[in-house]
Structure 1
């Protein structure tokens, strides 16, 4: 990044407008997705505690499955954006269609594996005897919606690559509204109980997938792109996604280790950890929205064979990441008297929470740069480096985090280890960004 001179003020303003136009709708779509689970929880919660417990276990399994395949959105965004930058819209859409076919194949595989193993999976998560039947029911029905959910991920990547984050926002809002109406109608109106909640979510997911497919098919017909599955294209999409899958699994391992360590610290610590993790995830949505804008814009610049433009917009987005991190950190510190009582009234949890929360707040500028550079390198198609960097980060974090209970540092030390994790990520991403090795121009990497 040091090679890029500061761009003129007019260029910076142009970059700012483009980042905002892509990031703000992307943030709305990202926030809308967790609202599905929130709506389901609110509706099912009135059926009884065993039903809600069953929903929690099944939802954890479903969320894990979907998060593993998030590379369908990331890899597709980068590949499509490159071709958009190269001025080859038919090829861009064709690339996106390959990603959608891959999503369908993966979704079918997940359904085939999960339906017969649902009781075993629920048992692994430690469901009680009363919650188990509800968890199995919800999981077996909801898993039928996985193909649609993965199509939504891939199609979202297509539209982001086409520099369109508004359509995913509109689809997410419509899907959330439909999910709420269907859940109420099927759970209470039709008397289907927790099964009605699952069916309502599945129907809403297929409706969202259908809306995306209509948009993509129209684009394909307009530009003469084939809709047929292409084995070579699907294989290329899968190969591009493997490094991002490794990266995602490594990050999931970090979060699982952190939660496991918190559980060993005591009830107050794990309760406070859950609150901080929820807040950290919410702030991650805001930072990830900037990263999504980075994926789309960087891919387009590189596809247009404009390395100087890519460097300049990378530099500007890093500035956005720093400022966003500072703002989020300040909001976390200043807003703590307002939101902490919403989560807990237990003095022990609050006392445990406060110093760890301060560590999280101070680390937000680091997180801001990490998210931005992660998006930049994804947009450049630099997946293999991201995979190795995240494996290195996991190797550094795991022993430090696992030592926390023995050293007696408590939750504050655990989130200090999380800050170390983000700092290692920052170092690896910053070195790569400065090297310029991610700058590979052309319609394909």
Structure 2
């Protein structure tokens, strides 16, 4: 008995693209994408009971871990786009082979990242945290958590090729199993419940690693069950690294912005940083919820272009963008209605709750715009338009997010300045990607 399902595809690539097909891909992707931020929100709530200092330490440590992991998102997004093109052309073996090479990259980059971060952890934490008390707490968490980076990257690669072949069954199972284990272990190890060790914040990092490695092992088993050659292929590796170069630069632009925002928020005190962490984690969660539709666009646009059907690719773009905009509007309304209640799920400290109110309303206002941006991102990624997305993101960061973030420190604007910068970033990206889609230059049929 193999781990490969007999039929998990939501439709033949030649007929995919309807609302039903989009949802058939988006809903399982939503489970995968929502699992990590939901766990992080749960982790934030658990650690939040340790006080503002513990939450601030988690914010800094989690930011650096995210910075390292997010530079390899091309293992997921780039692999989906390339695998989907092969799948649309009717060559499943070539699509899975993209996953094999992505997994080799994941292993190599993951080990390298662990070694580099173990050396650089202390100066990185000190540079971002500002206060020694926050830095000390963050460093202990980070040194444990970075041991899970290879597992994170393996899971990214696994998600990438499985989405490319439109397998909707296995990724949710694997990811939920991993984060389910983390969620069980986290409160037990943080508080020392049921006879478990009482490790405080370090228990959160151990729980994180355990879940990540369980998910990675499941993805490796899925790849092995495909029975394709497992040796490295230099030509495919080079092609993936070319796509990776543009996506890494795009991710770096994001991370420079978020690191700057955390560094500036830390200068306003532990309560401000804790409030920023709460709303940023919520922003991340909602962004990934909306990204489930973008992932459907990636797979379906890539398959359509691989099959040479440019009309279907355009139809998918319109449908996904409209659906994402509507979903984002609903989420924004729910956040507005729950503004007096939802923040209390994460902390009971009056100072943190007072600080949360400012970024909260920025999030409500920007979310509908973000829904459109994220959907178009998926369309362009599916079309292999990574170079344009890189340039658009870098320019938006330099012209919007970063100037307002650092001005907020100089002029004392506090969290309002930081979140105004994030909102400007979203608006500028909307202008860039919207113009690209309207002009139609992203539509290029054929294999990768």
Is TM > 0.5 for Structure 1 vs Structure 2? Answer: yes
Q: Equivalents in 2 of 1:267, 1:41: separation in Å? A: 15
Matching residue within 386, 409, 421 for 2:425: 421
The offset of 1:257, in angstroms, is 3.3
| 8 A Cα contact 1:389 1:428, kept in partner | yes
TM-score normalised by structure 1 residue count: 0.84
SS of the counterpart of 2:156?
A: helix
| 8 A Cα contact 1:262 1:270, kept in partner | yes
Is 2:179 the counterpart of 1:176? yes
Q: Equivalents in 1 of 2:155, 2:353: separation in Å? A: 39
| 8 A Cα contact 1:47 1:193, kept in partner | no
The offset of 1:31, in angstroms, is 2.0
The offset of 1:18, in angstroms, is 1.5
The offset of 1:372, in angstroms, is 0.3
- 1:293 is matched with 296
Matching residue within 100, 108, 126 for 2:111: 108
Q: Equivalents in 2 of 1:80, 1:414: separation in Å? A: 38
Is 2:71 the counterpart of 1:64? no
Are the structure 2 counterparts of residues 303 and 13 from structure 1 closer, same or farther at C-alpha, using a change threshold of 3 Å?
closer
Matching residue within 79, 85, 96 for 1:76: 79
Q: Equivalents in 1 of 2:171, 2:110: separation in Å? A: 20
Are the structure 2 counterparts of residues 350 and 176 from structure 1 closer, same or farther at C-alpha, using a change threshold of 3 Å?
closer
The offset of 1:139, in angstroms, is 3.8
Q: Deviations over 1:256-310 (max 9, x none)?
A: 3344444566777655544432332232122111111111111111111100000
Q: Deviations over 1:328-349 (max 9, x none)?
A: 2211222223324445667776
The offset of 1:114, in angstroms, is 2.7
The offset of 1:361, in angstroms, is 2.1
The offset of 1:235, in angstroms, is 1.8
Which residues in structure 2 correspond to 1:205-284 (within 5 Å)?
205-219=212-226, 221=227, 225-262=228-265, 272-284=275-287
Are the structure 2 counterparts of residues 28 and 428 from structure 1 closer, same or farther at C-alpha, using a change threshold of 3 Å?
same
SS of the counterpart of 2:340?
A: helix
SS of the counterpart of 1:336?
A: coil
- 1:312 is matched with 315
Q: Deviations over 1:70-122 (max 9, x none)?
A: 22111011110111101111111111111111111111211222334444444
Matching residue within 378, 389, 400 for 1:386: 389
The offset of 1:215, in angstroms, is 1.2
Which residues in structure 2 correspond to 1:23-42 (within 5 Å)?
23-37=26-40
The offset of 1:320, in angstroms, is 0.9
Q: Equivalents in 1 of 2:72, 2:446: separation in Å? A: 26
Are the structure 2 counterparts of residues 438 and 145 from structure 1 closer, same or farther at C-alpha, using a change threshold of 3 Å?
same
The offset of 1:125, in angstroms, is 4.5
SS of the counterpart of 2:395?
A: helix
* Deviating more after overlay: 313-322 vs 110-119: 110-119
* Deviating more after overlay: 136-145 vs 172-181: 136-145
* Deviating more after overlay: 367-376 vs 323-332: 323-332
Q: Equivalents in 2 of 1:115, 1:55: separation in Å? A: 17
Stretches of structure 2 lacking an aligned partner (at least 5 in a row)? 1-13
- 1:157 is matched with 160
| 8 A Cα contact 1:73 1:153, kept in partner | yes
The structure whose Rg is larger is: 1
Q: Equivalents in 1 of 2:95, 2:364: separation in Å? A: 40
Are the structure 2 counterparts of residues 382 and 174 from structure 1 closer, same or farther at C-alpha, using a change threshold of 3 Å?
same
Q: Equivalents in 1 of 2:204, 2:352: separation in Å? A: 33
Is 2:205 the counterpart of 1:202? no
Stretches of structure 1 lacking an aligned partner (at least 5 in a row)? 1-10
Is 2:342 the counterpart of 1:335? no
Matching residue within 431, 437, 441 for 1:437: 441
Q: Equivalents in 2 of 1:51, 1:344: separation in Å? A: 12
| 8 A Cα contact 1:27 1:289, kept in partner | yes
TM-score normalised by structure 2 residue count: 0.83
Q: Equivalents in 2 of 1:137, 1:170: separation in Å? A: 31
Q: Equivalents in 1 of 2:30, 2:277: separation in Å? A: 22
Are the structure 2 counterparts of residues 306 and 12 from structure 1 closer, same or farther at C-alpha, using a change threshold of 3 Å?
closer
Q: Equivalents in 2 of 1:196, 1:267: separation in Å? A: 21
Q: CA RMSD in A?
A: 3.5
Q: Equivalents in 2 of 1:148, 1:303: separation in Å? A: 30
**In the comparison of the two structures, how many residue pairs are matched?**
430
